Structure 1
Amino acid sequence: MSNVDVIRAHYAASDRGDLPGMLAPLGPQTKWTEAAGFPYAGTYTGPGEVREHVFEAIGRDWDGYRFTLADLLDAGDTVVGVGTYTGTHRRTGRSFTARVAHLWRFGGQSVVSFEQIVDSAPVVAAATQENS
């Protein structure tokens, strides 16, 4: 499987709601960085930390949280996924749409790092403002 195929499979698993499939490309040393300002900001190491601090937290806080892939760019050892996040916050009932880019870096056949670049303002606004 090429690097871009590995990431394409990750996004296909996301579309199916298949968390084990989403975590499959991550190794124990993979560094996963959620952008500063994003509700789950930080760097997590390995699939266990990513599951707990990112995906389980999103599942707890949001209904219909989704990443919709628009472009998948193959740059060899770097793969870029560009798309849109959407969701509705469970507590506030507010929805959002935010543009996002994911930078996947490979070392050999393994994902070494993931970095999220996102317009976090609409996400934070949906999570913090009560319905009128």
Structure 2
Amino acid sequence: MDVIRAHYAASDRGDLPGMLAPLGPKTTWTEAAGFPYAGTYTGPDEVREHVFEAIGRDWDGYRFTLGDLLDAGGTVIGVGTYTGTHRGTGRSFTARVAHLWRFEGGEVASFEQIVDSAPVVAALREQQ
């Protein structure tokens, strides 16, 4: 729980190295199908490039707000809300999300995002 709390605290501060600190070279990070950055990335460098740098390039004020942090044994679950405004369209969104952090041997083995992607994708589209 402390490792994941530290990740979310780093996120609140905008501290990318702190956010990536729990990830080892073999940690897999999966962004949900249908989400703009969908895919599975391995290690902190791929996550930085394909997730956090991409989000920073495409969105203003993109934020995860943690609502609940749940201890499920070898898995920690963060439940909250994403918000942001797309730089290209000027459209904002709010989407509910759950993060599943799985541990093996005391280390983060994997991260999986489960998200309502529809509001995020709608913010990418120009209004008609």
TM range (shorter): over 0.9
How far the C-alpha of 1:46 sits from its partner, in A, is 0.2
2:98 pairs with 1:115: no
In 2, are the aligned partners of 1:78 and 1:104 still within 8 Å (CA)?
Answer: yes
Question: Which of 48, 68, 71 in structure 2 is aligned with 1:71?
Answer: 68
The aligned residue for residue 61 of structure 1 is: 58
| Cα root mean square deviation, aligned | 0.8
| TM-score in terms of structure 2 length | 0.98
2:80 pairs with 1:83: yes
- Moved segments of 4+, more than 4 Å: none
- Which ranges in structure 1 are unaligned for 5 or more consecutive residues? none
CA distance in structure 2 between the aligned counterparts of 1:24 and 1:53, rounded to whole angstroms: 16
Aligned residues between the structures:
128
| TM-score in terms of structure 1 length | 0.95
CA distance in structure 2 between the aligned counterparts of 1:40 and 1:72, rounded to whole angstroms: 24
- Which ranges in structure 2 are unaligned for 5 or more consecutive residues? none
Amino acid at match of 1:61: D
CA distance in structure 1 between the aligned counterparts of 2:63 and 2:11, rounded to whole angstroms: 8
